[in-house]
Amino acid sequence: MSKLHIKKGDTVYVNSGEDKGQTGRVLKVLVDKNRAIVEGVNMVSKSTKPNAKNPQGGVVKQEASIHLSNLNPVDPKTGKATRVGRKVSTDSDGKKTLVRYSKKTGEEIK
């Protein structure tokens, strides 16, 4: 299985679909399904039974997952969507780590 280009906490841009052009923070990545849940994007209405948290029950709006192919990370420098590359980076202690970087600016994606 290959590594994913998106992690929890990333700010992403939606490439296609109903919410094309929106940006949001990744709340959860569903690795096995290649999907992610993005804050405020792909909202669906879900019926819920009354429970302790919601004693009234009724219709609740919540985020549904989006396929990872429809998402691109946002470049930290420009604030626009970018593709992701990976390179080996050396720390000050000489420790090597694999980091993600923006293909547009070469800036490291944290």
Average pLDDT (29-45) is: 95
**55 has pLDDT over 60:** yes
Residue 38: is it exposed, middle or buried by C-beta count within 10 angstroms (0-12/13-18/19+)?
A: buried
Grade residue 54 by pLDDT with cuts at 50, 70 and 90.
confident
**1 has pLDDT over 60:** no
Which tokens is 57 given?
């029950």
Examine residue 26 and state whether it is found in any structural domain, yes or no.
yes
The parent domain of residue 69 ranges over: 11-50+57-109
- Which tens digit of pLDDT belongs to each residue from 73-94? 999 889 899 999 999 988 888 8
Examine residue 3 and state whether it is found in any structural domain, yes or no.
no
Examine residue 79 and state whether it is found in any structural domain, yes or no.
yes
- Which tens digit of pLDDT belongs to each residue from 6-25? 999 999 999 999 999 999 99
